[in-house]
Structure 1
Amino acid sequence: MEAVLYAQERSKETRATLNSLRENGNIPAILYGKNVSNVPISVEKLDFKKQFNEIGKNGIFTIDVDGKRQQAIVRNYEVDPITREIIHIDFLAVNSLSVITADVRIVLVNDAEGVKDGGVLQQSMFDLSVTTNVNRFPDAIEVDVTHLQVGETITVGKIRQQYPFEINHENDEVIASILPPRQEEEISTGEEQEPGIPENLEGREE
């Protein structure tokens, strides 16, 4: 699916003009890249959010700036700390030969045998840094934990050959493991009271 994002070139960078853009439902942005001059633009907020959710953070946009089209990915964006709304976007221009590095989320799939035996599945890594052609970027990296037993781990080295892209991590970095079953804590029911005069009777006169 082609994600076409219509943008308008902007010329002024004053705080007032940027605030005005945001108040009118737009997001200031910059389009830059190899063999591409830095172009200040703005995009419609609702349109961007809708398409961004559909294609994912590593998806490719076709940005139409006043009729001129350029493929680009979202390289970075700034979020307002109070409203949590996106207030600025950096678009990196790409083409079919572009090779980029970005983080891809890890998704553990299937039920681990070790969990069925009472173990606890622990995920240690949630993203992998990946380098590949821009058109081959996955939305997520699925890691199958079906045969993972109690005390075993899945490391980067065990999955590296399963994927057609470069994973920028050491082989011994742990992605997931099965911990032994948790031991229930023994709860003390109280200490045996030493013989003698009960505290509530001390000092009482007959």
Structure 2
Amino acid sequence: MVKMTAQKRESSNKNSSLTELRSQGNVPGVVYGFKTETTPVTVTEIDLIKTLRESGRNGVIKLEIDGTTKNVVLSDYQMDALKGSFKHVDFLAINMSDELEVAAAVHLTGESAGEKEGGFITQPNREVNIRVKPSDIPDALEVDISKLEIGDTITVGDIRGTVSYEILDEDDFILVSATAPRTQDEIDELDAGTDENAEPEVVGSEDSKEEDKDA
């Protein structure tokens, strides 16, 4: 289990103090959950990135706060869209005996029969929701597509019985499909439709402000 250190901080909604924290390479956050009072904390962004690389998005982290260690998972986070840095993180303290509901990434393995015939693989849903004990959280749900032919799909119902945890999505939740390539006539028709009567698209924009989530 990956370890990380956090420091308690004074709860503050002042943007200036939060901006100063971030300018020093820190990320404000909060810890809450199992046998835990809601506690404002800070972690260094370097440690946070390193920890998430090692543990994964859903991995359990041993978080040390002023000498006390708690088992936590990353519950939520906010990113700075321009800088690509963390703005805020939420850590959920957990009971290792209780099941959690988490989102697991869907990873495709193998080369499908449909691809070998010139078809295309589409993956409309890249995550599934599962219920699992913290110690059994998978790195990803792996789906073998080697037998997937053109016109076939793989849904949650097709793989539900192949995993040891509960998948919360419905049986008809599509994970991957193999589609036939477009014919030249279809491509020509699409090109013609794009060229004729094309109108410029007007995209409106409005400024939005996102307040920092804080305890």
Matches within 5 A, 1:95-110: 95-110=95-110
Greater C-alpha Rg: 1
Q: Given the two structures, how large is their TM-score scaled by the length of structure 2?
A: 0.82
Q: Report % sequence identity.
A: 31
Structure 1 distance, partners of 2:112, 2:76, is 36
- Superposition RMSD in Å: 1.6
Are the aligned partners of 2:120 and 2:179 in contact in 1 as well (CA < 8 Å)? Answer: yes
Structure-1-length-normalised TM-score: 0.85
For 2:181 and 2:16, how far apart are their aligned partners in 1? 59
Q: Determine the C-alpha separation between the residues in 1 that align with 2:8 and 2:80.
A: 23
Which residue of structure 1 aligns with residue 2 of structure 2? 3
For 1:17 and 1:150, locate their aligned partners in 2 and report how far apart those are by CA, in whole Å: 56
Give distance in 2, aligned partners of 1:93 and 1:114.
Answer: 45
1:135-174 equivalence runs, <5 A: 135-174=135-174
Please list every run of 5 or more consecutive structure 1 residues that lacks an aligned counterpart in the other structure: 189-206
Partner of 2:192: none
Paired with 1:26 and 1:67, the residues of 2 have a C-alpha distance of 19
What SS does the corresponding residue of 1:138 show, helix, strand or coil? coil
Matched, 1:182 2:182: yes
- 1:123 deviates by 1.5
SS in 1 for 2:31: strand
Residue by residue, what CA displacement relative to the aligned partner does 1:81-124 show, whole Å, maximum 9, x if unpaired? 32221011000001211311111111111001121122222222
Asked if the contact 2:34–2:95 (Cα under 8 Å) also holds between the matched residues in 1, the reply is no
How many residues align structurally? 187
Unaligned runs of 5+ in 2: 190-215
Deviation at 1:39, TM superposition (A): 0.9
Shift of 1:127: 0.7
Supply the distance in 1 between the matched residues of 2:128 and 2:97 (Cα, whole angstroms): 22
Query: Shift of residue 54 of structure 1?
Result: 1.7
Q: Which amino acid aligns with 1:44?
A: T
Structure of higher RCO (CA pairs closer than 8 Å, 6+ residues apart): 2
Deviation track 1:124-160 (CA, whole Å, cap 9, x = no partner) reads 2111011111111111111001111121111110100
**3-state SS of 1:16 partner:** helix
Q: Distance in 2 between matches of 1:118 and 1:83?
A: 40
> Kindly tell me: are residues 70 and 180 of structure 1, through their superposed partners in 2, closer, same or farther at Cα, counting changes over 3 Å?
same
Worse-matched range after superposition: 11-20 or 68-77: 11-20
User: 1:104-119, aligned counterparts within 5 Å?
Assistant: 104-119=104-119
Deviation of 1:184 (Å): 1.4
Map 1:189-204 → 2, pairs under 5 A: none
- Please say if residues 113 and 147 of structure 2, whose CA atoms lie closer than 8 Å, have aligned partners that are also in contact: yes
Q: CA deviation at 1:12?
A: 3.9
Tell me the distance in 1 between the aligned counterparts of 2:173 and 2:141: 16
Structure-2 separation of matches of 1:97 and 1:72: 13
Tell me the equivalent position of 1:201: none
CA distance in 2, matches of 1:11, 1:177: 50
Counterpart Cα distance in 2 of 1:111 and 1:7 = 44
